[in-house]
Amino acid sequence: METDVRKNPGLLKLDLYCKGLKIDDSCRADEDGRGIFRTRAGLGSGLEVILPDNLWTNIPVVEPFVKESPYVLKKEGKDYNIYMNGDFVCKINLPPQPKFYEKKTSNGVPMRRIGVLQGTYLGIYPTGVCEYWLQEPKVQCKFCSVGLNLGTDDEVEKRIQDVVETAVAAREEMGITYVHFNTGFYEGDSFMDQLEPFVKAVKKETGLLIGVQTPPHHDLNWYHRLRSIGVNQISFCFELWDKPSFDACCPGKSAHFGLERYLDAVEYCANIFDTTNGEIIAGLEPPEASIESIDWMTSVGAIPTVCIFRPLVGTEWEDKPSPKTEDMIPIFARMYDACVEHGLPMGIAPNIEVSIVMNPEQGRYLSEKPNAKPLNRIKMKLMGVAFRAWFKMYVSKFDRKNRKKYKEAAMPI
């Protein structure tokens, strides 16, 4: 593996997640970029940046640990440059603020309060606050900031029409291909009943790829139903493989579902959806445990999503340290190696750049055997070419219809 961050943008992306970035007074990140949002799922809070090799990322900038970072962002002329301990590392780009953030839906709601771009896809949390935040004593996951976001940066209750119009506006302006719905926990497993009408409407109106992230429903028939209404991808955030660590970190999830139910759902869905992801947080358990969970997920046909723990301000674990880069490297290398070994599809869908995690294919930057299994990698490339061509054709008829139908829907604020 190339160990110089100036020559290895994947390592730079990882190192910036772990160490953060100081912002020099010369920067006008709010004017030139997207501003700083507390984005969905409680693990992204920072500055959206595009690193060399078109690696999108969301870099911590406000958490206290960032003060110790060797990295500084400076604006020089029109360029934004990263320095490490005073040495030039690279020029980066700040993705511009989407114009649809400044528009309102036909119900008068600012679209930026309906959905947020996380990299190049639209993330929507369509339902009320996760009920783990409302119970007394509180049982929310200890890293999570969802209960701090809703009603501040995000509309608490969203209407279906508002969500559809925001998705159409994001598609028209940014060419998004994928909408990701995320819910928390609601008594009686009602998260699916609440989510279903949003998913149906967005799929029917836009034809876009749809991802869903919820707790594991007790009735597994729900997953066939989601598939039949057009959900392409499903993910389950079990966060930690080590059971005592899971119980300590996620008291609500532990009491209502338990780790086993999450794992059963991952295994069950791997045979139903185009992609099933198990989501874990690296940095809250020994790296060996994270690697064990990656090996298990890939063995059942699921693709790991590995987030780096970020001690977000205001969360219960805000005082925990950010992980060390050297501890994280073997985890992300294994994520890539294991997906290739099992021939799992990576990076096939068009225009999906994810800022809040390292994509599985980006683990290649950290792998000691980036050229292993050449046939599997060629197969993946060909699948990507075929899928992108099909999707472009499929979605264009929705685009043509929506250009007329929603012409008047998006109004300036």
Kindly list the residues in this chain that would bind ligand SF4 in the complex (CB under 6 A): 42, 130, 132, 140-141, 144, 146, 184-185, 253
Report in angstroms the alpha-carbon separations of 53 from 71, 73, 228, 260: 19, 18, 37, 39
Between 14 and 250, whose beta carbon lies closer to ligand SF4?
250
Pick from 174, 211, 207, 210: which is nearest to 48 by CA?
174
Q: Tell me if residue 83 falls in helix, strand or coil.
A: strand
Shortest distance (Å) from residue 280 CB to ligand SF4:
12
The phi, psi pair for 411, rounded to 5°, reads -110, 150
Shortest distance (Å) from residue 38 CB to ligand SF4:
12
Shortest distance (Å) from residue 312 CB to ligand SF4:
11
Count helices and strands in the chain by DSSP H and E runs:
12, 15
Q: Which residues pair with 304 in a beta bridge?
A: 278
Between 141 and 167, whose beta carbon lies closer to ligand SF4?
141
Shortest distance (Å) from residue 241 CB to ligand SF4:
16
Between 252 and 323, whose beta carbon lies closer to ligand SF4?
252
Three-state secondary structure string covering 124-138? ECCCCCCHHHCCCCC
Beta strands in 100-193 (DSSP E): 103-104, 116-118, 121-124, 178-182
Pick from 258, 343, 329: which is nearest to 298 by CA?
343
Pick from 202, 106, 116: which is nearest to 152 by CA?
116
Shortest distance (Å) from residue 149 CB to ligand SF4:
10
Structure tokens at 205: 């109106």
Between 185 and 336, whose beta carbon lies closer to ligand SF4?
185
Between 246 and 365, whose beta carbon lies closer to ligand SF4?
246
- The CA-CA-CA angle for residues 137, 143, 147, to 5°, reads 60
Cα–Cα dist 74/200, whole Å = 45
Between 207 and 311, whose beta carbon lies closer to ligand SF4?
311
Between 215 and 345, whose beta carbon lies closer to ligand SF4?
215
Shortest distance (Å) from residue 129 CB to ligand SF4:
8
Between 13 and 180, whose beta carbon lies closer to ligand SF4?
180
Shortest distance (Å) from residue 130 CB to ligand SF4:
3
Q: Are 21 and 72 in contact (CB under 8 A)?
A: yes
Sign of CA dihedral 108, 127, 100, 29: positive
